[in-house]
Amino acid sequence: MPHRKPELTITSRLLIKAASATERWRPATQWAIAMASLAIVCAVDFVTGTQASLMFLYLLVAGLAAWSVGEREGLLFGLLVAVGGASVHHLQHVLHPEHAIPVTTELWNLFARIVTTGLVVILVSGMHGALRLERWHASTDGLTGVLNKASFHARMAKRIAAARGTDQGFILCYMDLDGFKQVNDRHGHSAGDDILRLFANAAVDTIREYDLFARIGGDEFVALLSIPSTGDGDHVAALVHRRISAILNRTGLPVSCSMGALVATADELDPLEAAIQFADSLMYEVKRSGKAALRIGRIDPAKSLTAPDSLEIESGMAAIASRNRRNRVMDGDRRAA
């Protein structure tokens, strides 16, 4: 049978939206909302008296908290929920002796609350964890653990959209491993896979945590680096290429990196697909010129980024005098080696 994409139900769409929303909350915000919700439910339960059961509201509060804070903290909060509900009922029985129940019954009810709330927390946090894992698999290259092509394009679009109308600069890098096919042929595909993982790890450790890096197929990778202005582009691109190349040199294998780097503002990276093609063409210029180098390009303000071949490219390899400049952008970053 054909492998068809499963249809999303209303519940699954709500869960995905909830996951996206709560992941942006800070832990302090998550706990504040959870505690406030519990306080409101306890107050409503006390006012409504012993005749109406609000157990479903307690479970709802516990489940929402577990979705936000995770299983371990969720179980702790679930215990607070169970004890809070039991305390409200005990206070009601004290104030209304005619509705009092034996102590053993109260203890049993507390135990039942703890077990029920704990099960809800485990189920909800497990569902959230499974959803996050599936979302990670959907956005990640299975071999190297970096972003895949579709996820890179989506995140790049958001990053660029947020910076439109500003002077912030970007470097769009297109990288290809020179000599990778020979490594595969001589040493086997397992050695080739090791090289891909090594290169991906080297690149991720070289750039900063909020920059984007992805494998888009075979031995080709792309990255989007944020810089304060386009004036920093030559230096940062040369620095990244130099650091990655140094790590590849230490492998002892005949593998190097050819890289094309497009330096532009957010407004100049439009349309994005054409920008990626332009960076790709820069990389292929390096391939034709002897490999293991970097070529940097910029957008001609007089032309539109729709036909990459018609755009002017800054000639010359980017091992420029900018090497002697102080690194204002990448130095000091905890991931830069």
Residues 46 and 210: their CA atoms lie apart, in Å, by 48
- Flag whether pLDDT at 62 surpasses 60: yes
Residue range 206-230: mean pLDDT, rounded: 91
Residues 302-309 have a mean pLDDT of 43
Mean pLDDT of 97-111: 86
Confidence at residue 323, expressed as pLDDT on a 0 to 100 scale: 31
pLDDT tens-digit profile of 268-297?
888 888 889 989 999 988 888 888 889 988
Residue 138's pLDDT is 83
Q: Give the pLDDT mean for 317-322.
A: 31
Confidence of residue 20 (pLDDT cuts 50, 70, 90): low
Reading phi first (left if > 0) and then psi (alpha if -120 to 50, else beta), residue 39 is in: alpha
pLDDT at 336: 33
Strands, sheet with 256-265, edge to edge from the N-terminal-most edge strand? 212-217, 220-227, 169-178, 256-265, 294-298
Residue-level pLDDT at 100: 77
Tell me what the mean pLDDT of segment 197-210 comes to: 89
What does pLDDT average to over the chain?
82
Mean pLDDT value of segment 127-153:
87
Terminal CA-CA length for the chain = 49
| One-character DSSP codes across 150-187 | HHHHHHHHHHHHHHTTS--EEEEEEEEEETHHHHHHHH
Residue 266 predicted with pLDDT over 50:
yes
User: Considering the domain 149-324 in this protein, what is its CATH number?
Assistant: 3.30.70.270
> Is pLDDT at 316 greater than 60 in this prediction?
no
Per-residue pLDDT band for 334 (boundaries 50, 70, 90) equals: very low
Domain ranges of the chain: 10-139, 149-324
Reported residue count of the chain is: 337
pLDDT of residue 301: 63
CA distance 75 to 190: 43
**Model confidence at 183: pLDDT above 60:** yes
Q: Kindly tell me if the per-residue pLDDT of 313 is higher than 60.
A: no
State residue 111's pLDDT score.
93
Please report which confidence band the pLDDT of residue 30 belongs to, taking 50, 70 and 90 as the band edges: confident
What per-residue confidence (pLDDT) applies to 103?
86
Give 67 or 17, the one with higher predicted confidence: 67
pLDDT level of residue 120 (50, 70, 90 thresholds): very high
Does residue 305 carry a pLDDT above 60? no
Confidence of residue 326 (pLDDT cuts 50, 70, 90): very low
For the residues 52-57, what does the mean pLDDT come to? 87
